A = this chain, B = another copy of it.
Amino acid sequence: MGISKPAAERLARLARLLEQRIEAGMDGFVSSSELEQMTGWPSHTIRKDISRLGAGIPGNAEEADAFSTPSGYEPGGLAACIRRVLSLENAAHNCCVVGLGRLGSSFLNYEAFAGTPFTLRAGFDSNVNRIEILQGEFPLYPTFRMKEVIPRFDIKFALLCVPGECAQASADKLFSCGVTGIVNFTSAVLSAPPGTAVENVSVLDALGALAARLAFNRLK
């Protein structure tokens, strides 16, 4: 494919930053050193990531050139090309939240999904009381109804917010119901069948990365 997983992740974030910039009224050309400022990544990495957008998909090479001008990148065109290449432009990816404790329930009225390709369609918790008490902008179900609800809403992605000791069992259940991608908020290391993917979101990894970066700054 010519685009690595880290590059795909950087490009997905870059598209979002460019769109935020345009929304803020800054729609002028943007140089790779400005992109470095915005993202914190070295400008040569960004240029390389962008140059790979055209690779591998017929017709993209021309499109990839169209937003690259001598005065910099045209932000709207670049963001659109990233979304197209990464399949982030399609209608909606239907998502669910699994585990409605404090973290999971923080997604019940989560406004940041508006205007993104991701829509929350359902929430699940094994505690029926919790489901009756909580109110969200999407329906909540007991876990045993996954098998019926997930295919009905064509849900492909899950935000996994259950306790660590239940994480693999929940993931197995989700995959067996047709979910193909899990954002894993637990500290468990999940195994996933072929054709599926897990993305870990970990505050401890983020803190570890911060500590490592600050240690490097001191050593430099």
Contacts from A to B (Cβ < 8 Å): 1, 3, 5-6, 8-9, 11-13, 15-17, 20, 38, 40, 56-57, 86-88, 93, 95, 101-103, 105-108, 112-113, 116-118, 157, 159, 164, 180-183, 187, 189, 195-217, 219-220
Contact = CB atoms under 8 A, between A and B. Distances in A.
19 contacts: A1-B219, A5-B216, A9-B205, A9-B208, A11-B212, A12-B209, A20-B189, A88-B211, A101-B106, A102-B105, A102-B106, A103-B103, A112-B164, A181-B207, A181-B211, A181-B213, A182-B210, A199-B210, A201-B201
A197 B207 CA distance: 10
Given A40-B198, A106-B106, 17 more contacts: A3-B216, A5-B213, A8-B212, A13-B200, A13-B205, A13-B208, A15-B208, A86-B212, A86-B215, A87-B215, A102-B102, A103-B106, A116-B204, A181-B213, A183-B210, A199-B210, A199-B213
Interface centre among A38, A87, A183, A204 (most CB of B within 10 A): A204
**Copies per assembly:** 2
A202 B3 CA distance: 21
A157 B203 CA distance: 12
Nearest to A15: B208
A105 B102 CA distance: 7
A182 B12 CA distance: 22
Given A106-B102, A195-B217, A5 B209 contact: yes
B207 A93 contact: yes
Contacts of A205: 9, 12-13, 16
Contacts of A199: 206-207, 209-210, 213
Nearest to A161: B106
A113 B164 CA distance: 13
Given A8-B213, A87-B215, A102-B103, A203 B189 contact: no
